[in-house]
Amino acid sequence: MKQITIKVFGGEQKCASCVNLPSSKETAEWLEAAISRKYPDQLFTIEYIDIFSPVEGENQKFANQIVEEDLFYPVVVINEEIVAEGNPRLKDIYAIMELNGYKDAG
């Protein structure tokens, strides 16, 4: 199993069409809790990246893309690929994790 890093890109201020959704930071915390329950004792990392703060490297590329393409954030990135935009679906994220060798504890 390859340990994966899930990056949640967003900002303190919600995007205009996301006013009724949790903040990007809350989404990162929610994902961490949900994934930890589904895959206990299986290591993964959740990284929250504020697109309006200085970021570097690959993170800068995604931050620029989100701003330039006016994507709905939070934007969830796994293995350097955008897997969710706006309100992420756990089912989609779980499927990617299982493709990477994670085993459902249920």
* Span 49-73, pLDDT tens digits: 999 888 888 899 999 999 899 888 8
Residue 105 domain flag: no
Would you call 45 exposed, middle or buried from its count of C-beta atoms within 10 A (0-12, 13-18, 19+)?
exposed
Q: pTM here?
A: 0.90
- Give the number of other Cβ atoms within 10 Å of residue 44's Cβ: 18
72/95 Cα distance (integer angstroms): 22
Fill in the DSSP letter of residue 22: P
Show Cβ contacts of residue 67 under 8 Å, excluding neighbours closer than 6 positions: 51
| pLDDT band at residue 20 using 50, 70 and 90 as cut-offs | confident
**Pick from 51, 48, 55: which is nearest to 13 by CA?**
51
Q: Supply the mean pLDDT for the chain.
A: 90
CATH assignment of the domain containing 88: 3.40.30.30
Residue 84 domain flag: yes
As a whole number, mean pLDDT of residues 7-26 equals: 79
Residue 61 domain flag: yes
As a whole number, mean pLDDT of residues 70-94 equals: 92
Residue 96 domain flag: yes
Look at the chain and report how many structural domains it folds into.
1
Residue 64: what pLDDT? 93
